[in-house]
Structure 1
Amino acid sequence: MNEQISTLRTPTHRFFVPLSPTRRGARLARLLAAEQLRSWELPLDPARLIVAELVANAALHGRVPGRSFRLTLSVTAPRLLRIEVTDARGDHPPALGTSADVPAESGYGLLLVETLADRWGVQRGPVPCKTVWAELDLPAAAVCDADPHG
């Protein structure tokens, strides 16, 4: 995990949506993310796999009754996709699964995120929230011709 926040640039495209921290909310987040990536003419994978893991974690581990989680996708120049999932459990940082020698009950999905993402990390705050983020360097052929506000 990268504890440092990468250098943020002004997004050329940005999409965000609040969702309920339920399995249904996580499913909707996956569907909306895939549709947004298609509309921006970006490759679906590995981004949708990362989204799936981060929103599943928000629904399972970041759940606070009455509070939603937020999925944010943004594209910045030059060719960077940032995926962020913000939940209301800033007191509950994500944990990576351990090696096969020391089994853990959860955290293996974040190993997938670590493998697929070019960078990822956790940003705490504003209280009581945390944001788990991942970045993908997009291929040179990836072009976003969609509305920058869509």
Structure 2
Amino acid sequence: MGTRCEPRHVNSETSLLTARERFYRRERKSVPASRAFTRLALVDWGMTARADDVLLCVSELATNALVHGVPPGRGFLLRLLPQDGGGLRVELHDSGDGVPAVPQRVTEEPHEGGRGLFLVAELADKWGVGERSPGKVVWCEFAGR
């Protein structure tokens, strides 16, 4: 005589939406690696509606951290935090000095750079900088549906 088991979900909604984080070294391959990590999390969470915006912001924040915020021999922490209502908060923790700001005007061609935080400010619903010792946390948020 067999025992009947009730079906249950292995991954409940709350376990699917657990924050994820990963540490990256100060090297070029960290930017595409952080983007791939974020893409996988977004797919797992079913948050693909604004994936292109989120991925571009992650790329820009990671690039800024490597260029301006991570001293030699260190790295940065990328933290993805699902929010109520289907939103997402992206945080980049680095140990560098300074407070990033959106440039007052976008640089003219053919100069490269200077557009990262401008793009983040345009694509994300909110962004900002928080304190951390040492360093800072640069974050952006995307509202849910």
Same fold (TM over 0.5): yes
Task: Give the one of 83, 87, 96 matched to 2:94.
Answer: 87
Rounded Cα–Cα distance in structure 2 between residues aligned with 1:62 and 1:100: 21
Rounded Cα–Cα distance in structure 2 between residues aligned with 1:122 and 1:23: 23
Runs of 4+ off more than 4 Å: 100-106
- What is the CA deviation profile of residues 105-128 of structure 1, one whole-angstrom value per residue up to 9, with x for unaligned ones? 743211110010110000011x21
1:69 matched to 2:55? The reply is: no
- Cα distance, 1:101–1:24 mapped onto 2, change above 3 Å: closer
1:25 matched to 2:30? The reply is: yes
Q: Which structure carries more helix by proportion?
A: 2
1:137 matched to 2:143? The reply is: yes
Rounded Cα–Cα distance in structure 1 between residues aligned with 2:106 and 2:135: 31
Task: Give the one of 44, 47, 64 matched to 1:57.
Answer: 64
Aligned length: 126
Q: Share of identical aligned residues, percent?
A: 34
Gaps of 5+ in 1: 1-11, 140-150
1:109 matched to 2:95? The reply is: no
TM-score, structure 2 as length reference: 0.78
- What is the CA deviation profile of residues 49-106 of structure 1, one whole-angstrom value per residue up to 9, with x for unaligned ones? 11111011111111212222000001121222000001111x2211322225999974
CA RMSD of aligned residues (A): 2.1
Return the letter of the residue paired with 2:44. Answer: S
Gaps of 5+ in 2: 1-16
Q: Which has the higher contact order (CA 8 A, sep 6+)?
A: 1
TM-score, structure 1 as length reference: 0.76
